[in-house]
Amino acid sequence: MGKRPVIIPTVAIAVVAVGAMTIPALADDGGGDAPSGNGGLPAATGAQAGVAPQTLAALQRDLGLTEDEARARVRKDRWATRTARSLRAALGDTYAGAWVNREGTQMTVGVTTAAAAERVRATGAEPKVVARSAKTLDTLKSRLDSSAGRTASAVSGWFVDVSSNTVTVVARPGKEAAATAAVNATGVARDAVKVVGSTADPRPLADLRGGDPYLIGGASRCSIGFPVQGGFVTAGHCGDVGDTTTGAIDGRQVAQGVVRASSFPVDDFGFVETNNQWTPTAVVAAREPGDPNAVTDLVPVAGSEEAPVGAAICRTGSTTGTFCGRVTALNATVNYGGGDIVNGLTRTDVCAEPGDSGGSWISGNQAQGVTSGGSGDCTVGGETFFQPVNEILQRNNLTLTTDGTEPAEPEEPAAPENPAPANCTGFEASVNGTLTATGARQATQFFRARAGTHTACIAGPANTDFDVALQRWTGRNWQTVGDANNATSSDTLRFSGPAGTYRYQIRSQSGAGAYTMGVDIP
């Protein structure tokens, strides 16, 4: 049976037809001046650059380095960055750019005079006297920028190449001669431009996010459920195996992927394998109810633990935005009419409308499923069913994209020797816990907050130093936006900020014991 069911008055499939549609900051390494010599960069001995373990691992993987070599590379590049910045300011119009060799062992600095070369040599970098300054090269590139319309068909891009002291123009595959002619027509000095061939064809990139819209064959719209490795999961009734999908980048529909798995009826799940323009991310793009174009927050996805009956749950779709309610039943069977009976769905009291099909269901930070169908709408209310995500993952051997946060395990600590004082009172909510040793950290569950002022009070036992920090989810990581870190057993934090997803982190700078935290949330 075809997989484009019509909307029926009582129980409807929520698909709608349409027209054609970090690297983390490095800590100050405290390194000294570079040794003088033949352009060598400072050795990796002495103070080491602070660098996240994930960054070290990525450097080892992608540059073929050992851990010690990766640490050395970070420190050397940090020195190179500082030295290049200083020389650019000191040399002015005689500065012609700086570059580090592939091995990361030497930095060369281009200059236009012999006097400037001596100043470079004194820093430990290697000078190279060239014809054009960095300012001249930037001016030449700007001329090409202003002539972009004349070169677009033959050229995929251009950039200042300080190592060759030219502006390098990258020709599209097989277009080297046409690119050269196009550059000549701009009037830029020919010896200042280098044309190179390339097999690459650059194109814009975009993130895959739960709740975002996509089109199937240009004829119908559904919503992304959850990004997985290689693509995303969605509802099966949205498309057949082999159907192509598109997504919006900068307001234009571009090729996105191909439906590789689809099951409807009996089940209602699909998997879309996406091309390399699309990057799976561990977020749901929460939207203003009734205004699906207004993304209000990026909610992190940490796992897929199934929520029980009665649990609070939120749905996001590309027609109605984000609405929340409760789980009312598990393992429900739904008769959509016309012989389309689907088993194993989860029933909720949340509304949905056509076009929300396939969209995300999340409880806390745990993925739950993708929208199948329902009755009613988001004006009068109704009930909606979703296909559980864990079945989709298991049946199709897929891996959910998550933010790396481990689910919190319930703790049953022994009674603390130092009970927490109860002087954080009068707050809207309270949190109690135990820090077991100096250096211990705990994080609360994340919560949604309106724009306004957050207030938190932390109180630990006497003779301890407990601190509290407020963190906001940026869409990719947790960023500390407020920190109370007095060297006492109690602290108070206040922060005024925008609406978003937040959490508190409690940590022991000294000592152990129970704590009480009171919070006011805007």
Asked if residues 112 and 94 have their Cβ atoms less than 8 Å apart, the reply is yes
DSSP 165: T
**Measured distance CA(209)–CA(224) in Å, rounded:** 7
Write down the pLDDT at residue 22. Answer: 20
pLDDT value of residue 5: 37
Is 357 or 326 the better-scoring residue by pLDDT? 357
Residue in 29, 268, 356, 491 annotated catalytic: 268
Give the confidence band of 397 by pLDDT, cuts at 50, 70, 90: very high
At the topology level, CATH places domain 429-520 in Jelly Rolls (2.60.120)
Selecting among 29, 220, 237, 372, the annotated active-site residue is 237
How far apart are the C-alpha atoms of 53 and 36, rounded to whole Å? Answer: 31
The CATH number of the domain covering residues in 53-128: 3.30.300.50
pLDDT for position 151: 67
**Closest listed residue to residue 269, CA positions, set 177, 365, 388:** 388
Pairing of strands 12-13, 213-216: unpaired
Tell me, what's the pLDDT at 30?
33
Instruction: Find out whether 267 and 388 touch, Cβ atoms under 8 Å.
Output: no
**Which pLDDT belongs to residue 157?**
83
Closest CA to 317 of 373, 390, 256: 373
Note the pLDDT of residue 42.
41
Answer with the residue of higher pLDDT: 40 or 428: 428
Confidence of residue 426 (pLDDT cuts 50, 70, 90): confident
The more confident residue out of 69 and 247 is 247
Question: How many angstroms separate the Cα of 208 from the Cα of each of 79, 246, 352?
Answer: 37, 12, 21
Helix (H, G, I), strand (E, B) or coil at 237: helix
Whether 467 is catalytic is no
Residues 6+ apart with CB under 8 A from 52: 24
pLDDT of residue 437: 80
Task: Please write down the long-range contacts of 141-144, taking CB distance under 8 Å and 24 or more positions apart.
Answer: 141/167, 143/186, 143/187, 143/188, 144/169, 144/183, 144/186, 144/188, 144/193
Question: What pLDDT score was predicted for residue 148?
Answer: 75
Catalytic residue (one of 156, 263, 304, 357): 357
How far apart CA 297 and CA 499 sit, in angstroms, is 8
- Res. 408: pLDDT tops 90: no
Mean pLDDT for 192-198 is 89
How far is the C-alpha of 206 from the C-alpha of 209, rounded, in Å? Answer: 9
Percent of the chain with pLDDT over 90: 38
What is the domain partition of the chain in residue ranges? 12-19+205-396, 53-128, 134-197, 429-520
pLDDT digit string (tens) for 260-285? 999 999 999 999 999 999 999 999 99
- Distance of alpha carbon 371 from alpha carbon 268, whole angstroms: 9
Q: What is the pLDDT of residues 332-360, one digit of tens each?
A: 889 888 888 999 999 998 999 999 999 99
**What is 12-19+205-396's CATH number?**
2.40.10.10
Task: Determine the Cα angle at 388 with ends 383 and 394, to 5°.
Answer: 170
- Catalytic annotation on 403? no
Instruction: Please tell me if the domain spanning 53-128 has the same topology as the one spanning 134-197.
Output: yes
CB 487 within 8 A of CB 465: yes
Give the domain 134-197 fold.
Answer: GMP Synthetase; Chain A, domain 3 (3.30.300)
Handedness of CA 476, 477, 478, 481 (dihedral sign): negative
pLDDT, averaged across the chain: 82
| 1-44 pLDDT tens trace | 344 333 323 345 555 554 332 212 212 233 333 333 334 444 33
List for the chain the helix, strand, coil content (%; round to 5).
15, 45, 40
Within 8 A by CB and 6+ apart from 149, the residues are none
Q: Is 318 helix (H, G, I), strand (E, B) or coil?
A: coil
- pLDDT tens, residue by residue, 208-253: 999 999 999 988 999 999 999 999 999 999 999 999 999 999 889 9
In which band, very low, low, confident or very high, does the pLDDT at 476 lie, cut at 50, 70 and 90? Answer: low
**pLDDT tens figures, 432-474:** 888 888 877 787 777 777 778 889 888 888 888 888 889 887 6
The residue that leads in pLDDT, 476 or 197, is 197
Active site residue 240: no
